[in-house]
Amino acid sequence: MKQLEKIYQTRRVKILKQIPNGVALFCAAKEQTSDRDQNFPFQQEADFFYLTGINEPNAAILLINTKKYGMKSLLFIKDKAPAQERWTGQILGIAKAKKILKFNDVLDIQNIIDGLRKYLVGASTLHYALGNNDSFDNIVFTLLKSTTAPRVNYPNTLSDSRLLTAKMRWIKNQYEISCLKQAAKITTQGLRNTITQLKTFSSERDCATALEREYFKLGAENLAFPTIVAGGKNATTLHHMPTNKPLPKKELVLIDTGAKFSGYCGDVTRTVPVSGVFTKEQKAVYNIVLRALEVGIKNAKPKKTLTEIHYAICISLTEGLLELGVLKKGKVAKLVKDGAYKFFYMHRSGHPLGLNTHDIEPLYELNNNNFKQVYDMPLVAGNVFTIEPGLYFDLNDKTVPKKYRGIGIRIEEDILITRTACEVLSKGIPRNAEEIEKLYLR
């Protein structure tokens, strides 16, 4: 616990050094009502968790760096309420937070407005991300608005706090990497165990719940995202949610899934034959997607960019579409430039991975308010992202040879950039077609 708190404190100090004459406000997520008096499972706001490790609602932190108050880190949380805790479980509380957390002070969340009024005096900028918590949005708007003229001795600039945290979260430290490795290990082991039982499941939903049960047996704290199990033509829908539809015995099933460990997400996809054996047509498409994945992994190394990886994958998939006769003719470079592959491959080849499955994407300021997205920045050691090529042939698309219609295939791995190349974190499950078929024999 002490080592973890030191990590969170170091992150807060790093933020403080980036906000001269400023105040940064980070708030916890709100509980969301699902039905009358029931709530959805609580999902903490990732930046707040990144800076505190606290997994409770009704909380906020103020990071202050002004001439008037110097550098301060303040935590505002809900204090213990024994009667309420009988219903919803124990919370951290102010006294325990003061004892174990490294803040300058811990205060009751009911005092957050007074705290903001006090510490915003003399600050030129408030760093706050609008849109995550409407209660705090209203507080910030009320404090900063003025109907007559700019406020004197009060922030006149509101800056998105995610500009500060996104760059930090994009480069993982050793603790984060260890969590991501464990999330990937649970995900791949659970998926491997589930594939060996595939013939026993009565439906997509039966398969999904069995897989999720495997995760919790292996130590997952939660799901990284709702499990996708898509049998047959359903695999041509990118984010198909599992139904009670039986898994078609002679077709493929696409499983896109992830376990969460200590806040960090796994995200792995495999497409496998329900029968245990690929047909000739299925294997032909599968191997083209697999080849594109291998091309992507080969290009995943320092100084390359995510855009370059995506481009290399698009070239490989376009070559494959020509081999299959899906694209009839044309030069690969021209077909890629024209986006001919986009009818069959309509998403990016990957995304940052971390506390969120689609982790926050930093913006990099070049000059004169010109920005570059993370996809165009050189990769460095500590970057973690997915590589996930796919091909999706709609059942009713008559431009596709009939034997391939209704086939949807995606293969996804979790990738860590090292000092010289990359490491596949999700290596615990095979991706080669023949090795997948062997799983059924165990």
CB 161 within 8 A of CB 47: yes
> Counting Cβ atoms within 10 Å, is residue 157 exposed (0-12), middle (13-18) or buried (19+)?
exposed
Name the band, by pLDDT with cuts 50, 70 and 90, for residue 441. low
Neighbouring residues of 13: CB distance < 8 A, sequence distance ≥ 6: 71
Structure confidence at residue 309 (pLDDT):
98
Task: List, for residues 106-143, the tens digit of each pLDDT value.
Answer: 999 999 999 999 999 999 999 999 998 999 999 999 99
Say if residue 222's pLDDT is above 80: yes
Q: How far is CA 74 from the centre of its chain?
A: 28
Structure confidence at residue 151 (pLDDT):
82
Neighbouring residues of 398: CB distance < 8 A, sequence distance ≥ 6: none
CB 258 within 8 A of CB 223: yes
Domains of the chain: 2-168 (3.40.350.10), 171-439 (3.90.230.10)
Backbone angles phi, psi at 436, to 5 degrees: -65, -45
Backbone angles phi, psi at 68, to 5 degrees: -70, -40
Name the band, by pLDDT with cuts 50, 70 and 90, for residue 1. low
Task: List, for residues 388-403, the tens digit of each pLDDT value.
Answer: 999 999 999 999 999 9
Structure confidence at residue 370 (pLDDT):
77
Say if residue 435's pLDDT is above 70: yes
Over the chain, what is the mean pLDDT?
Answer: 95
* Stretch 320-336: mean pLDDT: 96
Say if residue 368's pLDDT is above 80: no
Q: How far is CA 204 from the centre of its chain?
A: 24
Residues 79 and 147: their CA atoms lie apart, in Å, by 36
Say if residue 181's pLDDT is above 80: yes
Structure confidence at residue 366 (pLDDT):
72
Q: What percent of the chain has pLDDT over 90?
A: 88
Say if residue 152's pLDDT is above 90: no
Say if residue 187's pLDDT is above 70: yes
User: If we measure between CA atoms, which residue out of 332, 298, 302 comes closest to residue 413?
Assistant: 298
Say if residue 282's pLDDT is above 80: yes
Structure confidence at residue 159 (pLDDT):
95
Name the band, by pLDDT with cuts 50, 70 and 90, for residue 442. low
Structure confidence at residue 37 (pLDDT):
81
Neighbouring residues of 216: CB distance < 8 A, sequence distance ≥ 6: none
Name the band, by pLDDT with cuts 50, 70 and 90, for residue 148. confident
Say if residue 369's pLDDT is above 80: no
Structure confidence at residue 147 (pLDDT):
84
* Stretch 78-98: mean pLDDT: 91
pTM: 0.95
Say if residue 344's pLDDT is above 70: yes
Say if residue 365's pLDDT is above 90: no
